[in-house]
Amino acid sequence: MSSRTKKYKQLNNKIPAIMFKLKEMMFGCLDVIIITGLIIAKNLHYGKQIAEYYNPYTLIIPIVCSILPLVGIFFLLKEEKRVRALFIFDLAVSLILFADTAYFRYFKDITSIGAVRNGALLGGVMSCLPSLIKFNDIAYFIDLIVLLPLIKMFAAYKKRKKYKLGGAVRVMLFLLVFGTGVMANGKCIYNFNIEQPLLLTTMSNKLFLTKVLGNFNYHTIDIYNYARNTIEASKPVSAETKQDIRTYLQGNQPSDSGSVLAGAGEGKNLIMIQVEALQQFAINKSVNGQEITPNLNRWINKSLYFDNYYYQVSAGNTSDAEFMSNNSLYPAASGSAYYRYSGNTLDSLPNKLRNEGYSTAAFHGYVESFWNRNIMYQTEGFDNFYGETSFNVDDTVGLGLSDKSFFEQSKVTIQGMEEPYFSFLVTLSSHYPFDGGAGYGDFNAGEYEGSLMGDYLKGIHYADQQLGLFLDELEEDGTLEDTIVVVYGDHSAIPKEYADQLYSFAGVENPTELDWQMLQEVPMFIHFPGNANSGVNHTYSGQMDLYPTLANIFNLECKYTFGKDILNSGSQKVIFRNGSFTDGNTFYMSGSNTYYDIATEQIVAETDQLKAAKEQAMNELNLSDNLLNHDLIGEGLEQTIPEE
């Protein structure tokens, strides 16, 4: 027999053994393959349930990538344990997807740990659960019923045939599947983070995150953020820190004597309007012979106008502006306060007014869950939130419902509210990138036509027009006779990469970082019945100061505020989240650790006094963070604030 034939015969003899090994491996993995396939299918089914304006099949890659690392881990378990664990995993995924589906049908949002902790939200879903269940939800559970007997039969078959994955094979499969999954999923998340840099920590748009990364990744990120924030909050807060907070808050209480406009608004209605991307540089300016904001200019003239008012937002952007204006607490050091602190107890303006017998409502014509508003507005004390689904979206400009329709519809609701009321309106149409097109009307931005600045001017001109109509109507029908109106901008309009356009509009040559900072003002004005108290207040101030200022006007006691009453404190301090601050004379820019004299615009050396102010700014930010991270308002810190 030739050696060739010998080798061939030997190989031939090995074939049954190889075939057995292959079969053993295939049958050994079958439980994992089948249940993984079912879980992927269920996740896709869920994707279809929330599929508004997107194709759920784009989710296949992130779903597979996010599940693979866990599937890999299952290979480490021996046969029987693995099958049991897989079954439990399938059941858990099914329950989560089903709960998420019901929650979405009710809130148009994804469940989060914050939402689960907020019993009121779950109560809403539970109370009408039967109406939220649809027949096709059976897809989440049908396999589980069929699977049990099949698994048993299959296990008996494998035992009979002696198909079993050996230890070495299981470890190899674990390394392969787990490693591939971690790498592939990491790439999906990395790419997402490049495109939407802040979304993973701010969680501003949970729905979008789920639509791009899948349900599994969303929950993992939610759990990660929650755990990180909890760990931060669990670092014990010392008795000294608590005392420091108490001492600070007590020192920051307004003095009773000689208050300007104290109680001037007591018992009156309050309409507060936060205008998207409204900035000071557009006020009282014209282009091409046309005023950019003719209505705001007119209303400013008959109001108490603050022309040195800064936005102080951080990663939470619009929601930070809302948070500060209603709470006078600093935005979160990372992520968004509206996500991180939605489970806290807050001594917010709406809560305070509600305690005084006001009816309270928030209005915003966009997706309710955006910036976690549907949760945070309840925490802040709004009786009702009129979000996108409460409006008839009959006219759209830019991101969604037009300011025109928003104001028209909100007006009807506001006028049906029981008095006194607090209505908080957040506009939308003048949102970046200001591509409202024809919807914005025919404002001619002259030399700025075709640039981002030109588009902004069109957008803000449109917002001004709609706001003007709204205020004029409220004036004509007598609403303003017993209503105080507050209007302010939320944050920057022009991103830093387009700074040149802003400098050229503002006529700034050889810009410095101080010029940039000084251009970050937003207008704020308070209109009183009968145009009373009109005038211009030049105090350096910001969004942190609105609540204490209104608390004085409405005669409310607020004990947990870090801002100042602009009208009475005599202070010009404004602290920004990055540690920059001004005292009205000097501006400290934390990015370059530089002090500027505001009057001369020259750099000045650090003095002991400035150094102390810099440290105090950091200290105040820390105290506010501690108060929020440890939910000290909920703990009743004020009970222990010593009497003056």
Binding site for ligand GP9 (CB under 6 A): 317-318, 366, 370-371, 431
CB of 451 to Mn ion, least distance (A): 20
**Sequence-ordered list of residues with C-beta below 8 angstroms from that of 583, at least 6 positions apart, any chain:** 540, 571, 572, 573, 613
Smaller CB separation from ligand GP9, 318 or 409:
318
391, 409 Cβ separation under 8 angstroms: yes
Binding partner of 382, given ligand GP9, Mn ion, none, CB within 5-8 angstroms per partner class: none
CB of 387 to ligand GP9, least distance (A): 9
CB of 372 to ligand GP9, least distance (A): 11
**If residue 42 lies in a helix (H) or strand (E), which one and from where to where?**
helix 3-49
What's the Cα-to-Cα distance from 64 to each of 86, 185, 218, rounded to whole Å? 16, 8, 14
- Pairing outcome for strands 541-542 and 309-310: parallel
CB of 460 to ligand GP9, least distance (A): 14
Tell whether residue 312 is a contact of Mn ion (CB under 5 A).
no
Q: Tokens representing 535? A: 């005038």
Binding partner of 370, given ligand GP9, Mn ion, none, CB within 5-8 angstroms per partner class: ligand GP9
d(CA 341, CA 318): 16
Binding partner of 100, given Mn ion, ligand GP9, none, CB within 5-8 angstroms per partner class: none
Under rule CB under 5 A, which residues in 271-310 are in contact with Mn ion? 276
Q: Render 333-350 in DSSP notation, one character per residue.
A: SSS-HHHHTTTS----HH
Binding partner of 140, given ligand GP9, Mn ion, none, CB within 5-8 angstroms per partner class: none
562, 624 Cβ separation under 8 angstroms: yes
Smaller CB separation from ligand GP9, 292 or 428:
428
Tell whether residue 318 is a contact of Mn ion (CB under 5 A).
yes
Q: Render 397-459 in DSSP notation, one character per residue.
A: ETTEE-HHHHHHHHHHHHHTSPSSEEEEEE--TT-TT---GGGG-----GGGTTSHHHHHHHH
Binding segment for Mn ion (CB under 5 A), chosen from 135-143, 403-411, 485-493, 625-633, is 485-493
Binding partner of 403, given ligand GP9, Mn ion, none, CB within 5-8 angstroms per partner class: none
Smaller CB separation from Mn ion, 343 or 489:
489
CB of 192 to ligand GP9, least distance (A): 17
Smaller CB separation from ligand GP9, 368 or 583:
368
CB of 186 to ligand GP9, least distance (A): 27
Tell whether residue 205 is a contact of Mn ion (CB under 5 A).
no
Smaller CB separation from ligand GP9, 204 or 561:
204
Q: Render 107-125 in DSSP notation, one character per residue.
A: HSS---HHHHH-HHHHHHH
Closest CA to 482 of 577, 358, 362, 336: 358
CB of 370 to ligand GP9, least distance (A): 4
Strand pairing partners for 575?
581
Binding partner of 366, given Mn ion, ligand GP9, none, CB within 5-8 angstroms per partner class: ligand GP9
Smaller CB separation from Mn ion, 318 or 541:
318
How is residue 444 annotated by DSSP?
Answer: -
- Pairing outcome for strands 286-287 and 290-291: antiparallel
**Sequence-ordered list of residues with C-beta below 8 angstroms from that of 485, at least 6 positions apart, any chain:** 270, 271, 272, 273, 303, 471, 474, 526, 527
CB of 363 to ligand GP9, least distance (A): 12
Smaller CB separation from ligand GP9, 83 or 425:
425
CB of 311 to ligand GP9, least distance (A): 11
Q: Which residue do the tokens 């299918």 mark?
A: 41
Under rule CB under 5 A, which residues in 208-267 are in contact with Mn ion? none
The neighbour count for residue 330, using CB atoms within 10 Å, is 26
* Angle in degrees, CA 410, 420, 635, rounded to 5: 100
What burial letters (b/e) apply to 402-417, b meaning 16+ CB within 10 Å? bbbbbbbbbbeebeeb
Smaller CB separation from Mn ion, 71 or 463:
463
- Pairing outcome for strands 384-386 and 396-397: unpaired
Binding partner of 568, given Mn ion, ligand GP9, none, CB within 5-8 angstroms per partner class: none
Smaller CB separation from Mn ion, 377 or 560:
377
Helices (H), 574-607: none
Smaller CB separation from Mn ion, 181 or 387:
387
Helices (H), 252-292: none
CB of 486 to ligand GP9, least distance (A): 18
Smaller CB separation from ligand GP9, 68 or 207:
207
CB of 432 to Mn ion, least distance (A): 8
CB of 290 to ligand GP9, least distance (A): 26
d(CA 276, CA 579): 25
Smaller CB separation from ligand GP9, 372 or 582:
372
Residue 258, class by beta-carbon neighbours within 10 Å (0-12 exposed, 13-18 middle, 19+ buried)? exposed
Closest CA to 632 of 238, 333, 326, 113: 238
Closest CA to 279 of 506, 18, 596: 506
Binding segment for Mn ion (CB under 5 A), chosen from 169-177, 296-304, 488-496, 590-598, is 488-496
Q: Which residue is nearest to Mn ion (CB)?
A: 318
d(CA 99, CA 113): 13
Options 347, 368, 380, 490; binder of Mn ion; rule CB under 5 A: 490
CB of 342 to ligand GP9, least distance (A): 15
Smaller CB separation from ligand GP9, 276 or 347:
276
Size of the site for Mn ion (CB under 5 A): 3
CB of 382 to ligand GP9, least distance (A): 15
Closest CA to 576 of 196, 224, 313, 370: 313
Q: Tokens representing 332? A: 């979160």
Mask for 85-124, x = binds Mn ion (CB under 5 A): ----------------------------------------
Smaller CB separation from Mn ion, 100 or 490:
490
Helices (H), 133-238: 142-161, 167-195, 199-202, 206-234
Single-letter residue type at 500: D
Binding segment for Mn ion (CB under 5 A), chosen from 92-100, 318-326, 492-500, 550-558, is 318-326
Smaller CB separation from ligand GP9, 321 or 349:
321
What's the Cα-to-Cα distance from 622 to each of 484, 537, 541, 602, rounded to whole Å? 34, 29, 20, 30
563, 544 Cβ separation under 8 angstroms: yes
CB of 272 to ligand GP9, least distance (A): 15
Q: In what order do the strands lie in the sheet with 586-589?
A: 574-575, 581-582, 586-589, 594-597, 603-604
> What residues line the site for Mn ion (CB under 5 A)?
276, 318, 490
